[in-house]
Structure 1
């Protein structure tokens, strides 16, 4: 089944602080990386919220790139949305890693517009809750496993 787009949500931890300190230099570097990887960047928008947080938004003819940068935390959160066929966003991520130089990267890959079966579209949530009776029974089992459990029985009889 064909998908409409691919979206990568990337968390980059312990990034090089020099790379995250200047928003305009980072923005230019990002545009160059996107262009080299076959994507067409449009007008870039940089919004600074305070000294500890700024956002770079780069619309693409094929999607968009958004990066939230927290220089004090040495952290960058990137959202790359690509709806161009035969484009590998993973190559772009490797190039982004070379620019930002994180020590650790966590990436979530999403297929957007996957028109599979109905069961594929429903979210699957599993919650596991232990009943109170089960917890009480566990306590009894622990007492039976104790080496001095005969002592516990004697104490109960004396009451």
Structure 2
């Protein structure tokens, strides 16, 4: 079994509600909610709306970060959910965002970050690591 410091979901959201993913206040609120739902502690956030359309933003969490970049004209959002420790679950954030942005299709890959073996951390170390690593579609 693999053990790592964190999990990083790289998600593609297709056929989203274009109004939802073009509203910077809505996107920021939902990204912050996703962090809380994942069990993370929010440190700060920064979001920007582009003209004529599109939103980019980050929620910095004690456990890493959640980011989003949207293309409402294509009904598409690129989302990264990177959490560390066993007490956070990026999949909870993923499912919530899929619902609130009304994504009809998604593609997501989970990457383990900070592999214990590669770093040289003893498997029995007390750091709150995560186990697993699965590709999901």
Alpha-carbon spacing, 1:34–1:62, altered in 2? closer, same or farther (3 Å): same
Number of corresponding residues: 118
Decide which structure has greater strand share: 2
Contact 2:9-2:80 within 8 A present in 1 as well: yes
The structure with higher relative contact order (CA 8 Å, sep 6+) is: 2
Question: Could you tell me the TM-score, scaled by structure 1's length?
Answer: 0.68
Gaps of 5+ in 2: 119-137
Question: Is structure 2 residue 72 aligned with structure 1 residue 71?
Answer: yes
Measured against aligned partners, the alpha-carbon deviations of 1:25-50 in whole angstroms (never above 9, x if no partner) come to 22112212321331112221012343
Deviation by residue 1:74-102 (Cα, 9 ceiling, x = unmatched): 10000111012243211111111111111
- TM-score, length-normalised on structure 2? 0.78
CA distance, structure 2, for counterparts of residue 85 and residue 42 of structure 1: 19
CA RMSD in angstroms comes to 1.8
Task: State whether structure 2 residue 101 is matched by structure 1 residue 100.
Answer: yes
Distance 1:61 1:115 in 2: 20
Counterpart Cα distance in 1 of 2:40 and 2:75 = 27
In structure 2, distance between residues paired with 1:49 and 1:19: 14
Structure number with bigger Rg? 1
Residue-by-residue CA offset, 1:68-125 (whole Å, 9 max, x unaligned):
01111110000111012243211111111111111110001100111436xxxxxxxx
